[in-house]
Amino acid sequence: MKLRILMAVSLLALVGTACSQEQKTTATEEATPAPEVEVIVEDIPSEITGNVLALHVRATGVEIAAPAGNSSAQSAHFVVFVDREPVGVGEPIPNEKGVIESAEQPIKVWGLTEGKHTLKVALADGSRRRIHEKAVASKTVTVTGPWVQASAPSEVKAGEELMITIKSSGFTVVDPEASHDMPAMGEKVGHYHILYDGAEPKGGQSFTQKHSNGKQADHQDMARFDVAAGEPMAQESMEMGMTAGRIFHTSAGMVTLTNIPPGEHTIYVVVGTLEHRAFDPLVADKLTVRVKPA
């Protein structure tokens, strides 16, 4: 009998010790807060020339990765809202002008117009929904120009035309064909370069074409690649049945692209000089268009 009582007491002691240890572990876990999630934007100039801004952004307490469809809050990518408030937590990120998603550094903000702009950087998960409500950073910058801004639908069906509207200020738009006989005037005059699925442009870059044999085309040969340009705000139609990296030159304020194949396409609108060299600092805008199968 005494043996049974002794064994029962020992068993209760063991259970009590285990519960005590479990409570201590739970208390320790509760006492260790989750790492604070914060978005930090490095200092940027208060004023920029041109209209493309490079943002260097970092985050703490979360892994930065390209969106892959997951809804975990353990990883995220940056979302820049230009001159607008971020969407609420849990809401989808709109595919609209003035909203930039990126997991890369730096984040390029394209197509800024002259004047003061407020940029708010938040986080979104892999399913492209906003997370971490308090993780927002804000910066303000003033753009002195010149500037160019392009607008177009973010999605069209295969076979449909894509209309791009181009606006600009801070320089004189000149017909690229008429500029052949004009003296060099630096960045006081220029025209638009439409880069179709090409590499990201850089300030001072030369826009030249190459023949299929690899030889660089001269200015006269380039005319074979170009559409005839009209007056500013005229409309031009460009046939897009070509390989990636094609460059068009125009002074038109409205451009219609046709025969774009299905898929996602990147189109840059870059202002260049009479010598077909990008303004430096860069004056450009970026469009991303998805073409759905018919």
Q: pLDDT of 60-97, one tens digit each?
A: 999 999 988 887 878 999 999 999 999 999 999 999 99
What percentage of the chain reaches a pLDDT higher than 90? 61
**Reported confidence tier of residue 209, pLDDT bands at 50, 70, 90:** low
pLDDT in tens, 192-208: 999 999 899 999 999 86
Domain boundary among 92, 115, 145: 145
Rg (CA), the chain: 28
Query: The domain that contains 97 carries what CATH number?
Result: 2.60.40
Per-residue model confidence (pLDDT) at position 188? 85
pLDDT at 8 exceeding the cut of 50: no
21 in a domain, yes or no?
A: no
Tell me the sheet residues that pair with 254: 165, 235
209 in a domain, yes or no?
A: yes
Cα–Cα dist 177/8, whole Å? 101
Residue 106 and residue 239 in one domain? no
Residue 254 and residue 202 in one domain? yes
29 in a domain, yes or no?
A: no
3 in a domain, yes or no?
A: no
What's the average model confidence in pLDDT over 144-171?
Answer: 95
Q: Which domain holds residue 248?
A: 147-292
183 in a domain, yes or no?
A: yes
Q: Are the CB atoms for 119 and 139 separated by under 8 Å?
A: yes
pLDDT in tens, 170-192: 999 998 876 556 666 666 899 99
What percentage of the chain reaches a pLDDT higher than 70? 72
Domain boundary among 100, 117, 145: 145
Overall domain count for the chain: 2
Across the chain, mean pLDDT equals: 81
Residue 105 and residue 157 in one domain? no
Q: Which contiguous run of DSSP H or E holds residue 20?
A: helix 2-31
Per-residue model confidence (pLDDT) at position 49? 97
Residue 243 and residue 162 in one domain? yes
**Reported confidence tier of residue 276, pLDDT bands at 50, 70, 90:** confident
For residue 252, count CB atoms less than 10 angstroms from its CB and return exposed for 0-12, middle for 13-18, buried for 19 or more: buried
Say what the pTM is. Answer: 0.80
Residue 154 and residue 286 in one domain? yes
Per-residue model confidence (pLDDT) at position 92? 97
Cα–Cα dist 180/184, whole Å? 10
**Reported confidence tier of residue 220, pLDDT bands at 50, 70, 90:** very low
Residue 116 and residue 171 in one domain? no
pLDDT at 239 exceeding the cut of 70: no
Query: The domain that contains 249 carries what CATH number?
Result: 2.60.40.1930
Residue 140 and residue 160 in one domain? no
Residue 137 and residue 195 in one domain? no
Residue for token pair 């809401």: 91
Q: Which contiguous run of DSSP H or E holds residue 15?
A: helix 2-31
Residue 159 and residue 194 in one domain? yes
**Reported confidence tier of residue 244, pLDDT bands at 50, 70, 90:** confident
Q: Are the CB atoms for 270 and 193 separated by under 8 Å?
A: yes
Domain boundary among 107, 127, 145: 145
What is the DSSP annotation of 246-267? EEEEE--SEEEEE-PPSEEEEE
The number of angstroms, rounded, from the C-alpha of 38 to the middle of its chain's C-alpha atoms is 21
pLDDT at 42 exceeding the cut of 70: yes
Per-residue model confidence (pLDDT) at position 294? 86
Per-residue model confidence (pLDDT) at position 21? 54
Residue 84 and residue 165 in one domain? no
176 in a domain, yes or no?
A: yes
84 in a domain, yes or no?
A: yes
253 in a domain, yes or no?
A: yes
